[in-house]
């Protein structure tokens, strides 16, 4: 049953490798926006450190949103999605493979880049571990939830803005728990609570999101 | 049981039956809202701290109740439409979205107006207000999705999927917003919770809540009826109604 | 000797937004049948083929595959089906070989045929490793048709398969269809072309005049 999963994962990673330029976009976006913050706000380290957890999380969220729009777009346009919907394999697993590929090429690089940007925003030392752990799980949740919105809007000509309207409310818990884990750690509190909730969010969206996305894709194919 | 279910699913049956209930429902709604407003605005005692400004709760609280309940009505109607492919449920879902969004908007506006004399500002990032704002976004998402599909069936199914996802997520979003709020500022100003309210203030509120529920049902039925007429405009029974009205 | 029909369309109707496209379509296919759906543009040929592929659900009526309802036993039906639509899912930034490899993986094809042989026999010799965006429309079509050589599905559903290919390509595809039918396979295709295949059954699709 897993061969459809592996085939799609391998193909999506190969495609990502072919279109390297597009893959770098969210990471570059993340980088550029974080560079703009000190210019617009203040170069003062103490004040930057205060807002760094929130800024880093908001930017990671926007970067993820930016990239999730294209998750099913090319597959829809060239007919691959139709072939997937009518293939004898469970759509749930194939959707999950696409989401995993998306996370590997956007969420994971964002997570790895975050400590560097945290340093540029003078994030206190205690914040790095919860930042990376939170983003590691959180970006996966963002990819999973974003896939639902991407599936619902893939057949629409101007889906981009609609996608952000649909997905933003769903993203809120991730932002709240992710940013507060970093903040609490900086303030010297335990971060087990928010990180545990983040893990629960991940488990929950792993169960629900691929089903909802598969349903959304079927609707889009019929439309 | 199943026969009843299928009859309820028939738009024509619903249109004719709801025509009989409407005058009664409208009457009850009118009486309840009138009693509630007069009692609440005219006869309930002044609040010791807030004076007369507290009286806005007679609109604010029922509107917020129904804004949330309305989302569940919409999502459950969407689920019924998805699973049993019942046309009527799709129409109820489509009618419930703008109604719920309007109530959410009313709750937000009355909350802001109430906030000015109470907190000295129109907008605070309070847990309840923030949750209401998220709810408004959820409604707007469903409505925008509904309007962007050209095919009616696809629009209905897409917005049903989205409202179901939203329904599953609402408790999570609400809980996390609550947690976020307690984390950032320990609640200094607490709303007068319902059980601690004086009965003289509380009873008119109950009447208003009941009145708002009836009002919601009334408007939902009216919206659904016009949606039925629009969707079934080519069928003979709708043409008959139009001809009768022209005479 | 009368054969048992493999695929039966039982009074299929399709309605989009209260507008009836066609209704009451009854057809049956037996082993070795090649069925050509004919009709002017906009009559619903693609829609009918997409219903056959289960990408669309019919508004009324049902499909029966070897006697069992496709709506209930969808997996079984899909295992026996190969569908090539207008847009067959060819990735532009991958080469014909990579596209074929992906297709074989997802359909779990373990036939001993080599990718180069398959693509070579379709006249793509020397183009196997060039990204598809650099190929002509006809060559891209041929890269898609390579799937017909590796599939074991008995039922082929092809939407306008002759688009963009040259005379030699048409002859090649016709030969494929003949060989497929001789093995006992079935094919349903839509095309405006007269096929050079003996015993093609033709089905003229007629638009429904009545509105709901």
In this predicted structure, the answer to whether residue C21 has a pLDDT above a threshold of 90 is no
pLDDT at residue C24, as a whole number: 86
Number of domains in chain A: 1
Query: What residue numbers bound the domain in which A203 lies?
Result: 3-222
- Report d(CA C174, CA C98) in Å as an integer: 25
The complex scores an ipTM of 0.89
> What are phi and psi for residue A3, nearest 5 degrees?
-70, -30
Identify the burial level of A1 via C-beta atoms within 10 angstroms of its C-beta, where 0-12 means exposed, 13-18 middle and 19 or more buried. Answer: exposed
Q: Count the alpha carbons within 13 Å of A18 in the hemisphere toward its beta carbon.
A: 16
Displacement of CA B104 from its chain's centroid (Å)? 7
Decide if A155 and B154 are in contact by the 8 Å CB cutoff. Answer: yes
pLDDT in tens, A21-40: 878 888 899 889 888 989 99
pLDDT in tens, A89-101: 889 999 999 999 9
Q: How many residues does chain C have?
A: 212
The radius of gyration of chain C from alpha carbons, rounded to an integer in Å, stands at 18
Decide if B152 and C212 are in contact by the 8 Å CB cutoff. Answer: no
In this predicted structure, the answer to whether residue A159 has a pLDDT above a threshold of 90 is no
User: Is beta strand C186-190 parallel, antiparallel or unpaired with respect to C155-159?
Assistant: parallel
Decide if A212 and B164 are in contact by the 8 Å CB cutoff. Answer: yes
pLDDT at residue B51, as a whole number: 77
- Tell me which chain C residue has its CA closest to the CA of residue B230: C18
pLDDT at residue C198, as a whole number: 76
Displacement of CA B105 from its chain's centroid (Å)? 10
pLDDT at residue C40, as a whole number: 86
Q: How far is CA B68 from CA B146, B160, B164, B170, C152, in A?
A: 19, 16, 14, 9, 54
Helices (H) and strands (E) in chain B, counts: 8, 0
Read off the pLDDT band of B217 (50, 70, 90).
Answer: very high
* Chain B interface disruption, residue of A149, A150, A170, A171, most B CBs within 10 A: A170
In this predicted structure, the answer to whether residue B167 has a pLDDT above a threshold of 90 is yes
Q: Which residues from C are below 8 Å from A79, CB to CB? A: 85-90
- Report d(CA B138, CA B162) in Å as an integer: 9
In this predicted structure, the answer to whether residue B114 has a pLDDT above a threshold of 90 is no
* CB contact set of A97 (below 8 Å; sequence gap of 6+): A4, A5, A6, A8, A9, A12
* CB contact set of A44 (below 8 Å; sequence gap of 6+): none
Mean pLDDT, rounded, for B86-112: 93
Which uninterrupted H or E stretch holds C190? strand C186-190
Mean pLDDT, rounded, for A55-82: 91
Q: Which residues from B are below 8 Å from C212, CB to CB? A: 234-235
Q: Which residues from C are below 8 Å from B90, CB to CB? A: none
pLDDT in tens, B18-37: 989 899 999 999 999 999 99
Decide if B154 and A159 are in contact by the 8 Å CB cutoff. Answer: no
Report the interhelical angle of A3-18 vs C96-106 (nearest 10°).
Answer: 160
Q: Where are the domains of chain C?
A: 31-55+75-198
Dihedral of the alpha carbons of C13, C14, C20, C26, in degrees to the nearest 10: -30
Q: Give whichever of B64-68, C15-19, C89-93, C196-200 has the largest mean pLDDT.
A: B64-68
User: Is beta strand C81-84 parallel, antiparallel or unpaired with respect to C19-29?
Assistant: unpaired
Residue-range domains of chain B with CATH: 20-246 (1.20.120)
pLDDT at residue B185, as a whole number: 57
pLDDT at residue B45, as a whole number: 81
- Report d(CA A142, CA A135) in Å as an integer: 10
Cβ-Cβ contacts under 8 Å between B and C: the total is: 11
> What are phi and psi for residue B151, nearest 5 degrees?
-85, 130
* Topology at the third CATH level for domain C31-55+75-198: Rossmann fold (3.40.50)
Query: Is C161 at the interface with chain A, CB within 8 A?
Result: no
- Report d(CA A4, CA C102) in Å as an integer: 10
Query: Is C210 at the interface with chain B, CB within 8 A?
Result: no
Angle at C125 between CA C124 and CA C127, to 5 degrees: 65
Query: Which of A6, A11, A82 is opposite residue C85, by nearest beta carbon?
Result: A82
> What are phi and psi for residue C34, nearest 5 degrees?
-120, 120
């Amino acid at each position: 049953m897993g061969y459809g999963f592996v085939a799609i994962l391998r193909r999506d990673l190969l495609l990502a490798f072919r279109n390297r330029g597009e893959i770098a976009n969210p990471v570059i976006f993340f980088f550029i926006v974080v560079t703009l913050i000190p210019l617009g706000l203040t170069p003062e380290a103490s004040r930057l450190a205060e807002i760094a957890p929130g800024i880093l999380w908001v930017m990671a969220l926007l970067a993820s949103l930016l990239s999730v729009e294209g998750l099913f777009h090319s597959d829809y346009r060239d007919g691959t999605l139709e072939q997937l919907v009518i293939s004898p394999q469970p759509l749930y697993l194939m959707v999950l493979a696409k989401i995993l590929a998306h996370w590997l090429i956007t969420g994971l690089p964002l997570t790895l880049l975050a400590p560097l940007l945290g340093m540029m925003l003078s994030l206190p030392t205690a914040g790095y571990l919860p930042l990376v752990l939170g983003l590691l799980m959180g970006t996966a949740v963002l990819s999973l939830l974003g896939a639902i919105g991407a599936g619902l809007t893939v057949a629409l000509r101007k889906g981009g803005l609609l996608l952000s309207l649909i997905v933003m409310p769903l993203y809120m818990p991730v932002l709240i728990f992710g940013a507060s884990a970093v903040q609490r750690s900086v303030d010297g509190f335990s971060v087990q609570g928010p990180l545990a909730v983040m893990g629960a969010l991940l488990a929950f969206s792993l169960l629900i999101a691929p089903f909802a996305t598969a349903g959304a894709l079927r609707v889009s194919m019929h439309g | 049981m199943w026969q009843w279910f299928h009859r309820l699913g028939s738009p024509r049956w619903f249109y004719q039956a709801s025509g009989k209930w409407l005058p009664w429902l409208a009457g009850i709604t009118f009486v309840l809202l009138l009693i509630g407003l007069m009692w609440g605005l005219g006869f309930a005692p002044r609040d010791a701290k807030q004076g007369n400004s507290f009286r806005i709760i007679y609109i604010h609280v029922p509107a917020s109740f129904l804004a949330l309940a309305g989302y569940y009505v919409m999502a459950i109607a969407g689920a019924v439409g998805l699973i049993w492919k019942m046309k009527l449920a799709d129409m109820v879902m489509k009618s419930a979205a703008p109604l719920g969004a309007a109530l959410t908007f009313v709750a937000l506006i009355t909350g802001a107006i109430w906030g000015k004399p109470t907190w000295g500002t129109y907008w605070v990032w309070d847990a309840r207000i923030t949750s209401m704002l998220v709810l408004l976004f959820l409604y707007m998402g469903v409505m925008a999705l509904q309007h962007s599909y050209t095919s009616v069936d696809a629009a209905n199914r897409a917005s049903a999927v989205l409202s179901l996802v939203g329904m599953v997520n609402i408790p999570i979003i609400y809980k996390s917003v609550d947690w976020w709020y307690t984390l950032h500022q320990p609640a200094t100003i607490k709303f007068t919770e319902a059980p601690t309210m004086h009965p003289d203030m509380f009873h008119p509120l109950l009447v208003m809540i009941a009145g708002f529920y009836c009002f919601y049902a009334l408007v939902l039925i009216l919206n659904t009826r016009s949606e039925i007429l629009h969707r079934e405009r080519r069928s003979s029974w709708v043409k008959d109604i139009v001809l009768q009205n022209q005479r | 000797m009368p054969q048992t029909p493999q695929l039966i369309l039982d009074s299929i109707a399709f309605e989009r937004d209260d507008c009836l496209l066609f209704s009451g379509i009854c057809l049956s296919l037996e082993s070795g049948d090649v069925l050509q759906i004919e009709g002017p543009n906009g009559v619903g040929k693609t829609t009918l083929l997409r219903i056959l592929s289960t990408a669309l659900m019919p508004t009324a009526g049902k499909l029966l595959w070897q006697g069992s309802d496709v709506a209930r036993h969808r997996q079984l039906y899909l295992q026996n089906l190969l569908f090539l639509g207008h847009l067959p899912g060819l990735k532009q930034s991958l080469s014909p070989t990579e596209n074929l490899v992906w297709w074989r993986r997802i359909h779990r094809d373990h036939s001993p045929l080599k990718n180069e042989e398959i693509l070579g026999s379709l006249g793509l010799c020397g183009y196997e490793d060039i990204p598809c965006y650099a190929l002509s429309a006809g060559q891209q079509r041929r890269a898609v048709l390579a799937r017909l050589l590796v599939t074991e599905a008995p039922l082929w559903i092809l939407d306008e398969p002759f688009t963009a290919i040259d005379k030699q390509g048409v002859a090649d595809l016709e030969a494929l269809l003949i060989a497929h039918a001789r093995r006992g396979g079935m094919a349903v295709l839509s095309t405006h072309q007269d096929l050079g295949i003996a015993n093609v059954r033709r089905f003229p699709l007629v638009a429904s005049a009545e509105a709901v």
